[in-house]
Amino acid sequence: MITTKIKKEIIMIVGENNYEDSPASKLVYSFDATPQFQAMPDAVVSPRNKEEIAQIVKLCNSHQIPIVPRGSGTNLSAGTTPLEGGIVLLFKHLDQILEIDEENLTITVQPGVNTLEMSQAVEEIGLFYPPDPSSMKISQIGGNINENSGGLRGLKYGVTRDYVLGLEIVLPNGSIIRTGGKLAKDVAGYDLTRLFVGSEGTLGIITEATLKLIPKPETKKTVLALYQSMDAAAQSVSNIIANRVIPATLEFLDQPTLKVVEDFSKIGLPTHVEAVLLIEQDGPIESVLKDIEKIVTICKEHGAIEVNMAQSAEEAEKLSTARRSALSALARLKPTTILEDATVPRSEIANMVRAINEIAAKHNVEICTFGHAGDGNLHPTCMTDARDTEEIHRVELALQEIFEKAVSLGGTITGEHGVGAMKAPYLHLKLGEEGIAAMQGIKQAFDPNNIMNPSKIFPKSTRKRIVVNQP
């Protein structure tokens, strides 16, 4: 609880304008992009620098006040809902690109920098930051780091973790540490940098990050392959990679998703086929053309009824934008859209897609599937209505079965969305109780008072859960 005295102390640190506790501002930060989770914070605080953050953390630690660090709140795992109240901490004053270092191919940023703006800034000078979460137009890089965001280019280029070289972190005890640096190699002790990437704000607050850049690929080509059979599409995915071609993106959309996306984007996507693969390759022009030729041959050999190369950069961009709009498009159908995130080894995609469809039919729920087929990272998406408790119950049964199936195929309960509060009840499926205990040991070591984003990753019986309508 934030008493009047504590409120005064926080205002002393951040200034009056950076402390909000009106009902309206608390409501705005009571939820994130995840349906079905909402809880009121006690205050919304926007510190101006790391020293202020350290002071707030010390104060909150001594009074056991929860802190939820929040970027743009685009996560889909209830990772930034203030389920135990306390402070939602914003980075609107830490939104600067501090340096682009062209000799060391690094960029140093504050956590509040917008992901797309950062990407564009480096591309303008011929460099490239590959991670491209679908939310990048809105998301902040600090949020991406907390969540270890993935994206469409994961297959070839990896995820956020693979690009974080160094961090500045305010620990729950208020000390400020720096990890890593502009270094291709650093083995000075445990890898705190990667431990913090994806720790969902539960171990400390990231106040600065140095990220790795690579040269911008010379060119990019896009291909759309159409299938009348899900299995044929999945077989193509496995065969492309087994043939030693690693495309930049290898996206899968099933027919229901295609119909909805076409209805939303009106770019002439085929809606008469059961599935499409959207495949991009980038790099030097000669290798791209060679790879695309191989890809086209493999798709045709494995049952594609049509394979079309985008005839211009604009057409390619349209396809890619349409794919990125899948969530927005699907969200128009029903009051509540639950975008899930089951991941399997890519050889198991056909089995997983089949299982999802069987599970959806069994529980009589509506599920579309799309996602990063090359990664085995599928997004089964459920269109439902949070007000219909009977249907929501069936949805939850179906999702649990989907996670169990993914794990039984050697997969995981979340490929890129994080555990948050939403997946916490399923974490044991992937890790077992011993694995969870090991992680809890880390949490306890860093944050013994459990002030950092409590009720996330590890399930807690006292958590508030308010079902609300979601547009």
Applying the rule CB under 8 A, the residues between 364 and 383 that interact with a second copy are 372, 374-377
What residues have CB less than 8 Å from 271, skipping those under 6 apart?
A: 255, 258, 259, 262
Tell me the C-alpha distance between 272 and 310, whole Å: 19
Q: Which of residues 8-67 bind a second copy (CB under 8 A)?
A: none
Q: Does 214 bind a second copy (CB under 8 A)?
A: yes
User: Phi first, then psi: what are they for 392, rounded to 5°?
Assistant: -60, -35
Q: Which of residues 244-273 bind a second copy (CB under 8 A)?
A: 244-246
Query: Rounded to the nearest 5 degrees, what angle is found at the Cα of 107, between the Cα atoms of 103 and 110?
Result: 155
Q: Does 1 bind a second copy (CB under 8 A)?
A: no
For a second copy, the binding residue among 290, 300, 394, 464 (CB under 8 A) is 290
Which residue's CB is nearer to a second copy, number 20 or number 375? 375
What residues have CB less than 8 Å from 386, skipping those under 6 apart?
A: 35, 36, 335, 336, 392, 467, 468, 469, 470
Q: Does 431 bind a second copy (CB under 8 A)?
A: yes
For a second copy, the binding residue among 16, 314, 390, 434 (CB under 8 A) is 434
Using CB under 8 A, which of the segments 132-140, 155-163, 260-268, 305-313 binds a second copy? 155-163
Which residue's CB is nearer to a second copy, number 155 or number 326? 155
Q: Which of residues 67-126 bind a second copy (CB under 8 A)?
A: 101-106, 126
Q: Does 343 bind a second copy (CB under 8 A)?
A: yes
Tell me the C-alpha distance between 244 and 240, whole Å: 7
Q: Which of residues 441-460 bind a second copy (CB under 8 A)?
A: 441-446, 457
CB 454 within 8 A of CB 84: yes
Q: Does 154 bind a second copy (CB under 8 A)?
A: yes
Least distance CB 124 / a second copy (angstroms): 14
Q: Does 192 bind a second copy (CB under 8 A)?
A: yes
Least distance CB 173 / a second copy (angstroms): 8
Q: Which of residues 133-152 bind a second copy (CB under 8 A)?
A: 147-148, 150
Q: Does 303 bind a second copy (CB under 8 A)?
A: no
What one-character DSSP code corresponds to residue 216?
Answer: P
CB 108 within 8 A of CB 98: yes
Tell me the C-alpha distance between 6 and 371, whole Å: 46
Tell me the C-alpha distance between 155 and 400, whole Å: 26
For a second copy, the binding residue among 96, 435, 465, 466 (CB under 8 A) is 435
Query: Identity (one letter) of the amino acid at 287?
Result: S
For a second copy, the binding residue among 40, 116, 138, 183 (CB under 8 A) is 183
For a second copy, the binding residue among 73, 423, 455, 470 (CB under 8 A) is 423
What residues have CB less than 8 Å from 185, skipping those under 6 apart?
A: none
Q: Does 286 bind a second copy (CB under 8 A)?
A: yes
Size of the site for a second copy (CB under 8 A): 93
Q: Does 345 bind a second copy (CB under 8 A)?
A: yes
Burial 1-35 (b: 16+ CB within 10 A, else e): ebeeebeeebeebbeeebbbeeeeebeebbbbbbb
3-state secondary structure of 89: strand
Q: Does 410 bind a second copy (CB under 8 A)?
A: yes
Tell me the C-alpha distance between 380 and 376, whole Å: 12
Using CB under 8 A, which of the segments 153-161, 266-274, 330-338, 357-365 binds a second copy? 153-161
